Amino acid sequence: MRRLLVSMTATVVLSATLFGVASAAPAFRFPVRHFAGGVCEGQGDGGYLTAAFASDSLHGLHVTISAWLDPADPATDPPTAFADGTDLTVIEGQGEVTFNATVPVVGPDGTSLGDGTLSATLAYSGDRIVSPPQPGNGDPRFISRSVDQPLAGTGTFEWNGGSLTVTCTGDLLDVYMIQTNPGPRS
């Protein structure tokens, strides 16, 4: 009798567990977010440069550059040259990432200075940083994980009127996200 009772209890518990699993919606995997980008900033030979550039699978391409030729002071003076655009080429090679952009450049008064080019080569710098899965809370649950490769190198911005080369840092990043039990519970 005891065996029969244990067997029936196990069957009921197993059936309830299987029914719960079968009725749950499958996990949903979001597309991998891929990011490659960097920042070049500092005093170069003849002036100061700040440039930010990125290729992001979520937000697209973007380049913003500000340059001050000596004796201009970045803290108080407007940039000698400013560029903002989306014409960025990213080449992910073996152990390095190359960024090239051609962007329209304007002077401090808004007049066109023609096109300028930004070229930056950033090598892998240190070990990849792999974050462990970060469990979300609530129902449904979002679980994310990322892999980040730090980058370092130099970048040069050339335009009609100047050229500056400074150090750069950046990241090559992939973010993975899963949503468990995405559907409404019945």
Instruction: Read off the pLDDT of residues 162-179 as tens digits, 9 standing for 90 and up.
Output: 999 999 999 999 998 887
Length of the chain (residues): 186
HSE on the CB side for 171, CA within 13 Å? 12
Instruction: For residue 10, give both structure tokens.
Output: 């196990």
By the 10 Å C-beta count (0-12 exposed, 13-18 middle, 19+ buried), 176 is classed as: middle
Per-residue confidence band for 154, with pLDDT thresholds at 50, 70 and 90: very high
Residue 159, pLDDT > 70, answer yes
Indicate the range of 15-19, 49-53, 120-124, 171-175 predicted with least confidence: 15-19
Query: Of 111, 38, 37, 41, which is closest to residue 81 (Cα–Cα)?
Result: 111
pTM: 0.78
Q: What is the pLDDT of residue 11?
A: 38
Band of pLDDT at residue 9, cut at 50, 70 and 90:
very low
Return the residue matching tokens 């500092």: 42
Compute the mean pLDDT over every residue in the chain, rounded to the nearest whole number.
84
Closest CA to 26 of 181, 172, 155: 181
Token pair 């065996």: residue: 3
